[in-house]
Structure 1
Amino acid sequence: MAHGISYHAKDILFKSLSELYRNQALDVYGLHDLPKIKALLPNEFPAVRADEKRSDTLFLLEDDSILLLEYESNERFIDNHLKYLDYAYRILYTYYKQEKQLRHIRIVVIYTSDVTRKYEQFYAGDVFLSSKAVLLSEYNGDAIFATIEEKICNNEPLTAEETMKLILVPLMHSRFDRQMMIEKTIELAKNIHNEQTQLHVIAGILTATDKFIDEQYAQKIKEWMKMNKVMRLLVEEFEQEKEKEVHEKTLEIAKNLLDVLPIHEIAKRTGLTISEVADLAKKMEK
């Protein structure tokens, strides 16, 4: 998402979506044989040029494998799988450098209603890549929307599966065009009584439809999300975490300066109080 709620909007939405997906089964995609989601992972990896794209969504599964979840609306199967091969290489390389072992990678491609056939295997001599395809053209988005709409209108809580389905409704088969379904689904989500679920669903829709949503409308929704109480709490929590992180780094810098500078000079350079630096010096003496 190019323009955020704030300069750290991506991190805040990531935090919200992490709560949504944690411990969720992938049954809603028809992937009954995959382990549950353990955590949502950041999709920032080294060796990415400015003109290169990143994986849509990465999950750590309960068996410690990594699920690469992609959303596509075209049948450029070879081009897309070459792209996934690049993602897989960067993921494998990064984790191997950190852990000295290879992580198992699973690839699932969620095809919007524009695509009606599957392509799950890519051969290039000794290079082979397989994926699992989910065709949303096989899902009746209008019927699913109507069922969930009735529950929301009756103030009934949504199940985890219904929450996940609502996020995907704009990409399913419908008599309405995609942008209209995105708007209809987000407007429906605004009526969810539980504010946390409301935020999760809207954040999920913005993520799943990122390649297809009208940018001006997306920005409008992000601005609206500022008013969500849960979002405000997330922003506050995020700020506190960042402040703590900065403070810890500052303490580390001060610790390294104790042998070369007097306490008052360290306080001046780091912004810490003389008392904080003095306490740090005492701890180092023990």
Structure 2
Amino acid sequence: MYKNQALDVYGLHGLPKIKALLPNEFPAVQASTKRSDTLFLLEDDSILLLEYESNNRFIANHLKYLDYAYRLLDTYYKTEKQIRPIRIVVIYTSDVTRVEEQLHAGDVFISSKAVLLCEFNGDAIFHAIEEKIRNNEPLTAEETMKLILVPLMHSRYDRQTMIEKTIGLAKEIKDEPTQLHIIAGVLTATDKLIDEHYAKKVKEWMKMNKVLRLLVEELEQEKELAVKAAMEETEKKKAIDIAKNLLDVLPIHEIAKRTGLSIAEVADLAKEMEASLHKKEPQ
């Protein structure tokens, strides 16, 4: 999906287009489980290290990128006997409003290019793309990449809600490869923020074939409807119990107003209770 795409959507004009996705696990000099978020090979054969951050721990983050860069340089020098240029782009969630892009440590220097998603209106972007998807209109490459980042942009909703709304919208896309690429992109971009149980559920859904996914969705919808119906029935029973207790102290129209039952329903309850009392009276 990213191949042959420029990064203009991030406001990064002038960078070469993406040529390929690279493995983001590479040998470490010492035991470490740390790995970069995403690595791309660009058209000029430089490497793009694309990171996602939700904090402004500038020094700690850039020391982490320095470690990634060293391991990349070391790996490529050992295998290719050359030093590959490395570019670092950091996409900050809307929680971050101010960043630094350079870390000087004497003769050691590292810099990055920042993308501040607090400057993007996630709700407006989401609704514009939602309208196209609902009208079965194909998305442009730029819209596709924006949709992936919507959960990290400024929004009136919380982060997890936007993740679920975005993945739910992506599931409506008719073209299956695009649908799955967007969902995978959202999972990658929100890896540090997403609810683990929800992420696992989405990954399992992605592994299913199309027919099985549709069946699972139908079952989930039926389950939601059953739960909703059960909740409504419980609420109705509570309202009826309250109405019965109020019949002796309030008029029917007032009881209906307080319980949400109709006047006819309260009147029927009154008749039932009156009939029940007559049966209990001694002959």
- Shorter-chain TM-score category? 0.7 to 0.9
Q: How high is the TM-score relative to the length of structure 1?
A: 0.72
Give the conservation status (yes or no) of the 8 Å contact 1:199–1:230.
no
Q: Larger relative contact order (C-alpha < 8 A, sep ≥ 6)?
A: 1
Structure 1 212/230 Cα, relative in aligned 2: closer, same or farther at 3 Å? farther
Partner of 2:5: 24
For structure 2, which runs of at least 5 residues remain unmatched after alignment?
214-283
Q: What CA distance in whole angstroms lies between the structure 2 residues aligned with 1:56 and 1:226?
A: 22
Report Cα offsets for 1:207-266 as digits up to 9, x if no partner.
11111100000011111112344999xxxxxxxxxxxxxxxxxxxxxxxxxxxxxxxxxx
Asked if 2 retains the 8 angstrom alpha-carbon contact of 1:196 and 1:230, the reply is no
Q: Which residue of 1 aligns with 2:77?
A: 96
Equivalence for 1:135: 116
Partner residue in 2 for 1:87: 68
Equivalent-residue separation in structure 2 for 1:226 and 1:122 (angstroms):
42
Within 2, Cα distance between the matches of 1:149 and 1:46? 42
Residues 230 and 157 of structure 1: CA distance in aligned 2, closer, same or farther (over 3 Å): farther
| Structure 1 residue ranges, 4+ long, deviating more than 3 angstroms after superposition | 48-52, 228-232
What corresponds to 2:136 in structure 1? 155
Aligned counterpart, 1:272: none
> Which residue does 2:196 correspond to in 1?
215
Distance 2:207 2:62 in 1: 37
Q: Is 1:62 matched with 2:12?
A: no
CA distance in 2, matches of 1:52, 1:171: 25
SS in 2 for 1:79: helix
Question: CA 1:116–1:92 in structure 2 vs 1: closer, same or farther (change >3 Å)?
Answer: same
- TM-score normalised to structure 2 length: 0.73
Q: Give 1:50 shift.
A: 5.6
- Is 2:155 the counterpart of 1:174? yes
- Report the counterpart of residue 23 of structure 2 in structure 1: 42
Equivalent-residue separation in structure 2 for 1:131 and 1:219 (angstroms): 32
Answer yes or no: is the 8 Å Cα contact 1:199–1:231 preserved in 2: no
RMSD (Å), alpha carbons: 1.7
**Equivalent residue letter for 1:139:** F
- SS of the residue aligned with 1:163? helix
SS in 2 for 1:110: strand
Opposite residue 95 of structure 1, the aligned amino acid is: Y
Alignment coverage as a number of residue pairs: 213
Unaligned residue ranges in structure 1 (runs of 5+): 1-19, 233-286
Q: Shift of the alpha carbon at 1:52?
A: 3.3
2:100 match:
119
Of residues 46, 55, 64, the one that matches 1:74 is 55
The percentage of counterpart residues that share the same residue type is 83
Q: State the one-letter code of the partner of 1:68.
A: L
